[in-house]
Chain A
Amino acid sequence: MSIGAPMKRKEDPRMITGRGRYTDNIALPGMLHAAIVRSPEAHAAIVSMDTSAARERPGVVAVLTGEEMASDFAGPLAMVWAPPGVEIKTPEHWPLKRGQVKHVGDPVAVVVAASRGVAVDAAEDVVVEYDPKPAVVDPEAALEDGAPLVWEEFGTNQTHEWAVGGGDIEAALAEADVTVEHRFVNHRTSGAPIEPRCSIAEPRGDGVTLYSTTQIPHITRFVLGGMLGIPEDKLRVIAPDVGGGFGAKLQVYAEEALMVALARRLGRPVKWTETRSEHMTTSHHGRDQINYVTLGAKRDGTVTGCRARIIADLGAYQQLLTPFIPTLGFPVMGGCYRFPAIDLHFTGVFTNKMCTDAIRGAGRPEATYWIELMMDRLADELGMDRLELRRKNFIPKEEFPFETALGIVYDSGDYHGTLDRLLETFDLEEFRREQASLRAQGKLRGVGISTYVEVCGLAPSRAVGPQGVGLQAAFYESANVRVTPTGSVTVFSGASPHGQGLDTSFAQIAGELLGVDPENVQVLHGDTDQGAWGWGTYGSRSLAVGGEAVARASRKVQEKAKRICAALLEAAPEDIELAEGAFRVKGSPDKSMSMAEIAGAAHIPPNELPADIEPGLEESSFYDPENFVFPFGAHACVVEVDPETGKVEVVRYVAVDDCGPAINPMLIDGQVHGGIVHAIGQALYEQVVYDEEGQLVTGTFVDYALPTAAELPGFETDRTVTPSPVNSLGVKGIGEAGTIAATPAVAAAVLDALEPLGVKDLDMPFTPMRVWQAIEEAKGRGDGPRPSEQGRPLGEHGASGSGPASPAEGGGA
């Protein structure tokens, strides 16, 4: 059995010995190096550019401005969301800007030189005169009358509005006995893979090969081909080993287009490697939403309806999926709960900042953050136990598949089951006793529990494609499975992993279904000249969609192998079974063949194959799922807050997730660990900060604080197994689950720790200063600290009437 085993990764031997092939490791004969001249202004007109000094520097091959490269591009950078009936304001977005710059880091010229050092030196020689204009940075301010306009021609900073709902929200909130309202901020973050972006374009004959740090090589070829007017057969895109993506490499970037254009112009390979500062400035950011949420419930805790107004800061341009990302959370904007009415309204906003787009979780962490914290607030307002409120509103497992008020069908779930399992590991009552005794000593510990459902396995094309929510794309995934004459297997996948371990898990799937040791299954991907067209790796889709395609192609091969085996063993195909790694005649286990023997016969048959069997042993599958998959779980986080300094430390973290049956449980744990830390990073450490003039304050890893090992505890992980009916493997994605679950858990834990001090509301990131300021403010209000406070069950928070400052009594309006 290879499926379900914690098989060691096939990727590892090269990576632990320093033999990984990352893009920046590639050096080609005659290769030139590019450096980009970028705007130091957040918003300005380009008055003049003088590139003469740069051109004269020895070693410089070319210095090109946006005007000079205008003819290189048949079209601007792509944005692919066109929701039916909605106009999304989309400015032309050229790789090098002409006339105006709209954010710090906007590229205005490119320098190509014999060495990277000379290119960087010459980029500093380019003199650009700017006429600065007022910048707008805050998305709510940007929507106000009289705000500076990012794009004068649109007459507004509002990019679009999009709404979706189900059930009668007005009636739902009117019939509520209690409503709670709150404003949440999901602040801007960076993907920050440790590998910076890098692109190398190499002219080859009448075509170009682009090596790039991308999650989407096939989409990149498709988009760049259009932008540059190159037929797809003349453009090859290769994603070598990619050092992490987290969504930041789910993009078709200006620099990729530039390198291809430069290679065509100059006839030599050209390489550009991002500096970390460039990453912070010009690799797309994530999150940056403000959420106004209203939740209504009956006195017994039954939620009647949920309304959310979502303001999404999209930055200065529309990149590949920029306006769509906030919307991506909508299918789970009812959480794990049976909300009879849900009403959602999205407003996109231009600001003079880098674009936002997909970053790990992409819309779903933002949604889960406010859903879970609103459930806590509602429980407090009702004087009800927080977990009891959740249990009361959970969709029971026997009701799956469950159609939500939004018309989304959750495939399978057991939300009580994961929460119960969590509480087996995490003894909440014991924690409350410990918390009380620590509080008596002046120590502040708090717990937060989040339950989540996430939507992934992107995606059924009919749901998200042109006829669905309007992405101008499809979301099937492809696989080609080839058995060689000696019984080795090559799997070509349209997925494009960058740390997920698909070389291993896909080998396990194919190996299992073909009776071959996964060690002898080679998985190839990331090269548009190899294998079938594919949509790449993002949105926790690769196993549930790409893996299913591998399974389907493998089963086709298995069927053909059985037919060949049957012919050779003179049995009926339906009497051949694959068992214990061999193809054998049912009831006659001595009559059997290995895959190697069948593969040999398929390629070099000892006798002629029957006329209805073609030679060879190779099949493809294009799998477009019928539905998304919906992994879920329950997480508990314990933090300790230093009441004097405000510093927050995560001291314990327990995660119970359900992503269906494991292909490789070791890989699942790894994904969960990394996802949790990504979210802890957002909750406690990381924030992309622009000042009021639009200058980026967090331009390096000094200021953009990724947590290190020293800031974190180990994690306790567990799983329940609820198969998905959507695919034959029963699997659901797990790459983003930790990131989706953990921000509300951390936030609730911080607020719980601060409860005796009277702090009731605080936005992420919970930096020491921000926590300290909140404590001071609460002291000033006179509702804290209360040194005699004892730890109490979760549900008793706020029972004394200290609910949100201004609940919308009666709701509705």
Chain B
Amino acid sequence: MITAPFDYAAPESLDEAVRLLGEHGEDAKLLAGGHSLLPLMKVRLAAPSMLVDLRRVPGLSGVERANGGWRIGAMTRHVELQDSPELGVVSRAASLIADQQVRNRGTIGGSLAHGDPASDLPAVVLAYEGELAVRGASGERTIPAADFFRDYLTTALAPDEVVTEVRLPALEGWGFGYQKFTRRAEDWAMVGVCALVKKGVGGECEDVRVGLTHMASTPLRATGVEDTLRGGSLEPRSIASAAEHAAAGTDPPGDLNATPEYKRHLARVLTRRALEEAAAG
């Protein structure tokens, strides 16, 4: 219930935050909303010696339309995404994270940087083929979501790097579906599926992307499903047939509530449902 002791700084600029991270190295952790980090610290599964709080750093929050896409500040909270229905599946997925109190604190940047494959937003950003803008001591760079998630709680971020922005294509005209399977509403996803479908003029599947939550140590794309469906029909039978590939190439971690086998089954069912939803949208 009580974290190990740590030092604390609340820098007023991004440069200062990056400097502090560089100075403290692996022992320092960034604090955004704190809803991934503080629970681990309270049960002492994490004990950083230094927390660098981003709350005073200006310019890291907000959603704006730019260059045909969306720019979402890293400190944008889940509630702001939830209240931005124009963000489509991002908004839907955000609205299903934990509970309202958590959504009022948790941030998109924090959620992605934590790299938990059971969190909702990583698979969504992956399916969107979004990018993360990051700032470190050596300057700015962008990391495609596809390259960002490396392993369980491990990302491509260097210890001194800060996620500043998430950039998503607008995906105008795409339909979306989001299926999250939990025992209780407030739980992490046992399995989650984000489906994005672009219909052609004849109603066929012009393009499709499927992101999977909690089916491996990182979020995954269900490429087998995408390849099967792309260019084909969006009739229920085609969708069902494509969804059968949902578990291909996955390596879901088993736990108390779900064996890997059950998760693979859920992935197939939820993928079909998410695609049906997306195709109807």
Query: Which residues in A have some Cβ–Cβ distance to B below 8 Å?
Result: 116-117, 120-121, 124, 275-277, 644-645, 647, 685, 689, 697-698, 700, 702-703, 705, 707-708, 710-711, 767-769, 772-773
Contacts and interface: CB of A to CB of B under 8 A. Distances in A.
24 contacts: A116-B2, A117-B2, A121-B4, A121-B5, A276-B1, A645-B181, A647-B181, A647-B183, A685-B184, A689-B256, A705-B184, A705-B187, A707-B184, A708-B186, A710-B186, A711-B185, A767-B183, A767-B257, A768-B257, A768-B262, A769-B258, A769-B259, A772-B265, A773-B262
Contact of A769 (B1, B5, B188, B257): B257
B256 A124 contact: no
A251 to B, nearest CB: 22
B2 A120 contact: yes
B266 interface: yes
A442 to B, nearest CB: 13
Contacts of A697: 256
Interface string B179-197: 0010111111010000000
B38 to A, nearest CB: 14
Contact of B43 (A689, A700, A708): A700
Contacts of A705: 183-184, 187
Contacts of A772: 262, 265
B257 to A, nearest CB: 6
Nearest to B186: A708
Given A644-B269, A769-B257, A769-B259, A685 B183 contact: yes
A645 B269 contact: yes
Given A120-B1, A710-B186, 9 more contacts: A117-B5, A697-B256, A702-B188, A705-B183, A707-B184, A710-B184, A768-B257, A769-B257, A773-B262
B65 interface: no
Contacts of B266: 645
A463 B265 CA distance: 54
Contacts of A710: 184-186
Interface of B: 1-2, 4-5, 43-44, 181, 183-188, 190, 256-259, 262, 265-266, 269
Contacts of B43: 277, 700
A703 B256 contact: yes
A558 to B, nearest CB: 51
Nearest to B185: A710
Closest 9 CB pairs of A and B: A710-B185, A644-B269, A769-B262, A275-B1, A117-B2, A120-B2, A769-B258, A697-B256, A705-B183
Contacts of B256: 689, 697-698, 703
B28 to A, nearest CB: 20
Contacts of A116: 2
Main secondary structure of the interface of B (DSSP, over half): loop
Contacts of B259: 769
Contact of B44 (A124, A647, A708, A767): A124
In the complex, which of the residues B188, B256, B257 has the most CB atoms of chain A within 10 Å of its own CB atom?
B256
B90 to A, nearest CB: 22
A588 to B, nearest CB: 65
Given A121-B4, A703-B256, A773-B262, A768 B269 contact: no
B185 A708 contact: yes
Q: Which of B1, B185, B257 has the most CB of A within 10 A?
A: B1
B205 to A, nearest CB: 23
Contacts of B257: 767-769
B271 to A, nearest CB: 12
A754 B186 CA distance: 27
B238 to A, nearest CB: 18
Nearest to A691: B256
B193 to A, nearest CB: 12
Nearest to B39: A702
A708 B185 CA distance: 8
Residue among A121, A710, A769 having the largest count of chain B Cβ atoms under 10 Å: A769
A773 B190 CA distance: 16
Contact of A768 (B1, B183, B185, B188): B183
A700 B186 CA distance: 14
Among B2, B4, B43, which residue has the most Cβ atoms of chain A within 10 A? B2
Nearest to A119: B2
Given A116-B2, A121-B4, A769-B257, A711 B184 contact: yes
A644 B267 CA distance: 11
A411 B276 CA distance: 59
A772 B183 CA distance: 13
A277 B44 CA distance: 12
A647 B183 CA distance: 8
Nearest to A196: B1
Nearest to A707: B184
Contacts of B185: 708, 710-711
A704 to B, nearest CB: 10
A120 B190 CA distance: 33
Nearest to A116: B2
Contacts of A117: 2, 5
Given A697-B256, A767-B257, A772-B262, A708 B184 contact: yes
A707 B188 CA distance: 14
Contacts of B183: 647, 685, 705, 767-768
A540 to B, nearest CB: 28
A700 B259 CA distance: 20
Contacts of A277: 43
Contacts of A647: 181, 183
Contacts of B188: 702
A707 B184 CA distance: 7
A685 B187 CA distance: 12
Nearest to A124: B44
A120 B185 CA distance: 32
Contacts of B5: 117, 121
Contacts of B190: 768
A769 B260 CA distance: 11
Contacts of B258: 769
A768 B43 CA distance: 28
Contacts of A767: 183, 257
User: B184, B187, B259 — which one has the most chain A CB atoms within 10 A of its CB?
Assistant: B184
A429 to B, nearest CB: 33
A103 B187 CA distance: 28
A40 B1 CA distance: 18
Contacts of A275: 1
B188 to A, nearest CB: 8
Contacts of B269: 644-645
A723 B28 CA distance: 68
Contacts of A708: 184-186
Contacts of A711: 184-185
A124 B47 CA distance: 13
Contacts of A703: 256
A276 B43 CA distance: 10
Nearest to B270: A645
A707 B187 CA distance: 11
A576 B189 CA distance: 70
Contacts of B44: 124
A711 to B, nearest CB: 6
